[in-house]
Structure 1
Amino acid sequence: MAYNSAAGLAGMLKEGTRHFSQEDDPTNSSVVLRNISACLELSRMLSTSLGPQGRCKLVVNHLEKIMVTSDCAAILKEVEVEHPAAKLLASACKKQEEECGDNTNFVLAFAGELLWQTAQLIAKMTWQPAPEILAGYRRALDLCESKFFPALVCDSVNDFTQKDQLLQLLRPVLASKQYGSEGVLAPLVVDACLRVMKNGRVSVESVRTVKIPGASVSQSVLLDGYAAKSGVETVVTSVEKAKIAVFASGFEASSTEAKGTVLMKNADDLKNYNKSEEAKMEEIVRSIVESGVKIVVTGGNLSDMALHFLDRHQVMCLRIGSKWELRRLCQAVGATALVRLGPPTPDEMGYCDSARVQEMGGKPVTIFTNAESKLATIVLRASTTSVLNDLERAVDDGVQAVAQAAKDGRFVYGGGAVEMALSVALQQEAEKVPGLEQYALAAFGKALEVIPRTLAENAGWDSTRVLADLQSAHASVAEGTICDVGVDIDRLGDDQGSGTISMKEKAIYDLLNTKMSALRQAVDATVTILKVDQIIMSKPSGGPKM
């Protein structure tokens, strides 16, 4: 196809490509403002989910699966964001979830507010997204990381074997996801992390959750080992001090790769053929039993003939269809999954102190317990599937928080206290900076107020009065001391309260490492969005959406 120079850029690009640039409206920075507007819509949609008193969102995905949660990362995972700039913001939240497991809503809320402050600068001073704005935001981030954050450290985890110190860390993390249930979940998560901790490090994959509908959250328990959400295939339902053989393949007679024909001339040939197959299977089962194995776990099919001989030799047999779950079982009992059908060597065998079938929520659950297990399983109980899924996300975030604390155990005050302290410090610092960067520093500090303001709004307080009290408390603090005043989220119908309270008295802390990571992700996403001056969107592939 010939290039049509008269058509300009539209003639150069493929048919169906859309293009937006500053030339559409050079005085109002149309592309930048469009991006800011899209990100603001996404940020404000989820701002009401921030904090322990945050509201839940009911999300119905493309498969008509219903999810009720206040977890920002889980909502963004199910919602299909189409705008390219808003996708950048969603990817920053996803990265924060992968690295730290917490403060994803902080990333979205702060990035949205920072973009709004930028839009105000553009409107008031007719700025384009000049280098001064971006440089000012980078400078503010560097000041927070190198100067202000280290000065706001109030406590730290010194000994990871002390349960009290880990509980102090986990209660605020779990309360932000499951407010009211942190008293039940925090001890379970702490005990699970202490059992799988090795050399002061916690592997997130070593703590597993099993969701069983029914009962209440208070009936959730911690198991030393593995729990399979299925019953056993054999009549034996309980074994003590047993060796375990795990087979990744099916437990059945192997079939040939090529088709074959067997010629049988009489009934004796048929009987002998069946007998030879039975004898071979019985020989395999007997050899496994003679090696000391009392439990057989298979990841494939289990033939009736194999089940018959396993029952005859009083061997407990369990079938697990998921390869992922099979690997978790091997990790719990110290076994190696075999691909050959035969007796395992001593190094390939696993061991458990006990294995039993127990009924939970009307369903059989097979529990393998082992005092020396490398895996801890938290059995979660709740009335509905949505609550169970939310509890699972809260537990995952709690385990991730312990893993992050093992890298850097320093604390800062939570409840919006650290954000307000940074806001006051940055706005004071902006007055000392010459040039246009001071406006960017002041806007950065102003944007940090979105966290305490949103916490106050979600808790039912007058946000204007709460912000004024917080600013007064943090501005009047003596140099070299740390102000611990934050938002009181436990209103409990008290209309006479001030809305602020000491975070030290309430024992509400945030991990410094997690907070710095969230701030960094938000600033990086914001700067990337502000650098965009053109959007070029190719025609989507495929046919029309049904």
Structure 2
Amino acid sequence: MTNDELVANVRTVADTVQTTLGPFGANKLLVQQDGTVTATASSTELLERFDITDPAMTLLQTAASGFGDRYGDGTGTVVTLAGALLHEADGLAEQGLHPSAIEQGYRDGLDSALDAIEHTAHPLSSFGAEAVAKTALTGTRDPQVRQSVAAQVANVVENVGADASDSVRVVSRSGGAIAETELLNGVVLERGPILESMPRSLERDGIAVLSSSVDVPHVGSQLGDVSRRVVFEADSFEDREGIAEYESEAFTEQLRAAIDAGCGAIITERAINERVQTQLAAEGILGIQRVDTDELRAIARTTGATVVPTLGQVSESVLGRGAITVQRKAGRDMTVIKSDAGEPAHTLFCRAPDPRTVTAFEHSVETAIAATAAAVRDGRVIPGGGAVEATVSQAVKAEARSLTGRQQLSAEAFGTALMTVPRALAKTAGLDGGRTVVQLRVARSEGRDSVGVDALAGTTADVLGDDPIVEPVRIKKAILTAATDLATQLIRIDDRLQAVDLSDDDVEPEETTAQGQETPPGQGRNA
């Protein structure tokens, strides 16, 4: 197989992903094998939901996922640029360039691009963190929503610091007032107590965090190593009644011991059985069930609790400490857990434009937090809207002229590939991609390096003007590096092999004599 055939699916996905860039990125209707239908314009969600079996596609998904996990932003641009570099590599290969020459030229182009970004950078203080958040917040086109949420994101980063992308969780609800967007200090669960009769705040500050179901202990149940198993059979009604009474009393003793230790709330990863829910409510215990594993761990870290399997293992030493309040938001109960006992936690509660875009909007807010945190950490930004790509493309091509041999061709191709980003932004905004690229090049020839695509205005303009469009330097440099690494890795693929035993089973071993010596040629049993 040729390289073109081996990475054909990668180029197809890259072409699809580039149409999701920008605030006007096209929605994709993704139909999974189980019949689940998802409409999304989020490149991250799109890549996560692809059912992938192709090895080259697996490399793409792994690289994109790893980049998203580390930087929280730029996944779609990485895939778009990687696809553009592969497309340029096809043309270079037709001209006779070896993959090694293409890779070297791309590496030279990358070095020139990174240098150009450094010269294009501006201080963050000239524009403010809110401008970065607003640029990255592509999940809504409503100017009021963007302004409100961007201000909250900037506030989050200022309060939490440059590690905000790791310590802030985003929760969004559709509809409602924009004013309901707020930063909550603590862990927020998108659920309330299992019974209305349970308290909506703690009477005792002890919080038990469990990993299994809350139920009456069964006769014969035992934790840890079991050295002997006893089978108890209850044939009569009286025996069964006695067992039920014994189990109920055992649960009451466990619950009383937990309350004496200061327990006021039970939060579990599994279920709280219906037959004990009323008893918990009667004792003033707030019970929350079926909590996600990551949320459970966050609660434990924040409150200083130790996660234990059962209620019977709850003691004062494993209880977390904090305050819990149940609040009504967007027509649903939400539980806020605050504590100073462990690591600080923060949740940004915001309003999504409509029910169909809640997930994509959450991704967009998370991206905005990551981008803003990266800009705060580095203290520098660059023009967005494809402006920096246009400037860097020109610089790369100018530097390529100093190279000799075929590396010059591949370095120039690297510069050409960079223009894929502003072209894609223009197309998703309803502009003519080719004409936009020409306009950006003319602007560079006139020394106007901050001219880019203002998708919301539907035109090319100075993106550092009254409503600045800016991106963090750190993430942009990482995007170019990751896209180049991914593309060169795929370019160098020349064959696809199955990871099986490659030995030739049809080759017969040479015969040996009784003493273990090889049989001389022509003296085998058939000689």
For Structure 1 versus Structure 2, the TM-score category normalised by the shorter chain is 0.7 to 0.9
The structural deviation recorded for 1:276 is 5.5
How far apart are 1:510 and its partner, in Å? 1.2
1-side partners of 2:12 and 2:443: how far apart? 32
Alignment partners' CA distance in 2, 1:453 and 1:121: 21
Q: Which residue of 2 aligns with 1:286?
A: 256
The corresponding residue for 1:142 is: 111
Q: Deviations over 1:407-436 (max 9, x none)?
A: 534211111111111111111112222322
In the TM superposition, residue 229 of structure 1 has moved relative to its aligned partner by: 3.3
| Superposition pairs of residues 337-348 of structure 1, within 5 angstroms | 337-339=307-309, 341=311, 346-348=316-318
Of residues 237, 262, 267, the one that matches 1:297 is: 267
Q: Is the 8 A contact 1:225 1:374 kept in 2?
A: yes
Q: Is the 8 A contact 2:92 2:102 kept in 1?
A: no
CA deviation map 1:316-364 (0-9, x unaligned) = 3333354433223323433222335358555533333442253643x44
Matched, 1:152 2:120: yes
Distance in 1 of aligned mates of 2:422 and 2:236: 88
Q: Does 1:424 align with 2:390?
A: no
Q: 1:428 to 1:332 in 2, by over 3 A?
A: same
Partner residue of 1:244? 206
Instruction: State the shift of 1:277 in Å.
Output: 5.0
Mapping for residues 10-409 of structure 1, pairs under 5 Å: 20=1, 31-35=2-6, 37-81=8-52, 83-123=54-94, 126-129=95-98, 131-145=100-114, 147-156=115-124, 165-175=128-138, 177-180=139-142, 181-197=145-161, 200-202=162-164, 204=166, 206-212=167-173, 215=176, 219-234=180-195, 235-239=197-201, 242-248=204-210, 249-255=212-218, 256-257=220-221, 258-261=229-232, 277-302=247-272, 306-339=276-309, 341=311, 346-356=316-326, 358=328, 360-361=330-331, 363-370=332-339, 374-382=344-352, 385-405=355-375, 407-409=377-379
Deviations 1:74-105 (A, max 9, x none): 21222235554444344432332222122222
Q: Which residue of 2 aligns with 1:413?
A: 383
502-511 or 60-69: bigger deviation: 502-511
Counterpart position of 1:543: none
Taking structure 1 as the reference length, the TM-score comes to 0.78
Match of 1:442, SS?
helix
Aligned to 1:525: 486
Q: For 1:36 and 1:300, how far apart are their aligned partners in 2?
A: 44
- Whether the 8 Å contact between 2:202 and 2:264 is mirrored in structure 1 is no
Which SS does the other structure have where 2:359 is aligned? helix
What root-mean-square deviation, in Å, do the aligned CA atoms of Structure 1 and Structure 2 show?
A: 3.4
Q: Distance in 2 between matches of 1:264 and 1:526?
A: 71
State the alpha-carbon separation in 2 of the partners of residues 270 and 39 from structure 1. Answer: 63
- Superposed, 1:457-536 pairs within 5 Å as 457-477=427-447, 483-491=449-457, 499-536=460-497
Distance of 2:498 and 2:244 partners within structure 1: 67
Contact preservation (8 Å) 1:202, 1:406: no
In the alignment, the residues of structure 1 paired with residue 310 and residue 59 of structure 2 have an alpha-carbon distance, to the nearest angstrom, of 48
Shift of 1:388: 1.0
Gap regions ≥5 residues in structure 2: 222-228, 501-527
User: 3-state DSSP class of the match of 2:205?
Assistant: strand
Determine what percentage of the aligned residue pairs are the same residue: 23
Q: 1:59 to 1:217 in 2, by over 3 A?
A: farther
Q: Distance in 1 between matches of 2:34 and 2:289?
A: 29
Residues 148/310 of structure 1: CA separation in 2 closer, same or farther (3 Å cut):
same
Cα distance in 1 between the residues matched to 2:269 and 2:56 = 45
Give SS of 1:535's match. coil
- Cα 1:428/1:345, change in 2 over 3 Å: same
Rounded Cα–Cα distance in structure 1 between residues aligned with 2:292 and 2:241? 37
Whole-Å separation in 2 of the counterparts to 1:148 and 1:329: 45
Query: Following the alignment from structure 1 to structure 2, what is the Cα–Cα distance between the partners of residues 264 and 36?
Result: 67
How many aligned positions are there? 487
Q: Distance in 1 between matches of 2:242 and 2:407?
A: 92
1:37 Cα deviation (Å)?
A: 4.8
Range with bigger deviation, 339-348 or 62-71: 339-348
Preserved contact between residue 168 and residue 345 of structure 2 (Cα < 8 Å): yes
Give the residue type in structure 1 aligned to 2:14: S
Residues 136 and 441 in structure 1, CA contact (< 8 A), matched pair in contact too = yes
Give, in whole Å, the separation in 2 of the partners of 1:108 and 1:349: 46
CA separation of 1:435 and 1:220: change in aligned 2, threshold 3 A: same
Q: Displacement, 1:113?
A: 2.2
The answer on whether the counterparts of 1:239 and 1:294 sit within 8 Å (CA) in structure 2 is no
Equivalent position amino acid for 2:264 in 1: K
Quote the offset at 1:374 in angstroms.
1.9
